[in-house]
């Protein structure tokens, strides 16, 4: 039996200044020490106590590990001057870890509201699907007792470049892992909703995690 874990991840927005334009050469995967230092400096300008990124050189952070003060700062940067009730969810998505190794990371422009597509997994006879906001998007299908996630795109390369092009998972193990994450997100949503009043809405987690529009 494999240990499968779904991990909610966010990309943290930062307020840019002149120093922000002085970014290192290369990429985090080719010039990690300098990019790590740059990222740490940017985060310190905007946040109090951000946990380590999920992996070396991949600046995505476990949503559930971020404290309320930093969540509030992230939300303010995320919405800027947009009405919170018209905002999209936070940028990020859901990593899949197998036996402690992350097999799939959120891709470019991914949103937490992609959980609505992942919910297809709860139906044993689900139709094949893509994620609707990220690019490139994995293609998720089911064959007998296996979930198969294809990470190959004609026009774009999946991140990181070392990503597998085909991930095979036991369906029941994957479904159980997803259900566990759902419960963790429900508990986290209660915590997040304590910030709702500061942003003039009743249920901020519906907007920023679950992809449900807010109401005035």
45's CB contacts (< 8 A; 6+ apart) are 14, 15, 17
Structural domain contains residue 125: yes
Structural domain contains residue 3: no
Tell which residue, 5, 37, 57, has the closest CA to residue 176. Answer: 5
Local confidence pLDDT in tens for the 216 residues of the chain: 899 999 999 999 999 888 888 889 988 878 889 999 999 999 999 999 999 999 989 999 999 999 999 999 999 999 999 999 999 999 999 999 999 999 999 999 999 999 999 999 999 999 999 999 999 999 999 999 999 999 999 999 998 988 899 999 999 999 999 999 999 999 999 999 999 999 999 999 999 999 886 543
Sign, CA dihedral 11-126-154-157, equals: positive
Q: 178 with 147: CB under 8 angstroms?
A: no
Structural domain contains residue 214: no
**Spatial distance between the Cα atoms of 173 and 153, rounded to a whole number of angstroms:** 27
Structural domain contains residue 85: yes
Structural domain contains residue 213: no
Enclosing domain of residue 64: 8-208
The domain total for the chain is 1
Q: State phi, psi for 182 to the nearest 5 degrees.
A: -55, -45
Structural domain contains residue 2: no
* Predicted TM-score of the model (pTM): 0.94
**Spatial distance between the Cα atoms of 182 and 119, rounded to a whole number of angstroms:** 9
């Amino acid at each position: 039996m494999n240990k499968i874990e779904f991990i909610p991840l966010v990309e943290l927005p930062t307020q840019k200044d002149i120093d922000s334009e002085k970014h290192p050469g290369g990429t985090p995967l080719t010039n990690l020490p300098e990019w790590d230092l740059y990222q740490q400096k940017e985060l310190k300008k905007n946040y109090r106590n951000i946990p380590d990124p999920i992996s070396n050189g991949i600046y995505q952070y476990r949503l559930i590990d971020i404290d309320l003060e930093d969540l509030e700062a992230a939300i303010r940067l995320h919405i800027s001057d947009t009405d919170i009730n018209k905002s999209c969810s936070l940028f990020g998505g859901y990593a899949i870890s197998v036996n402690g190794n992350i097999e799939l990371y959120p891709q470019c422009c991914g949103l937490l509201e992609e959980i609505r597509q992942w919910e297809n997994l709860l139906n044993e006879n689900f139709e094949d699907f893509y994620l609707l906001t990220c690019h490139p998007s994995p293609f998720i299908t089911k064959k007998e007792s296996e979930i198969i996630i294809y990470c190959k795109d004609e026009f774009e390369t999946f991140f990181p470049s070392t990503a597998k092009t085909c991930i095979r998972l036991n369906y029941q193990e994957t479904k159980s892992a997803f259900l566990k994450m759902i419960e963790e997100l429900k508990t986290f949503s209660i915590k997040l909703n304590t910030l709702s009043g500061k942003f003039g809405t009743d249920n901020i987690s519906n907007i920023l995690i679950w992809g449900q529009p807010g109401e005035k």
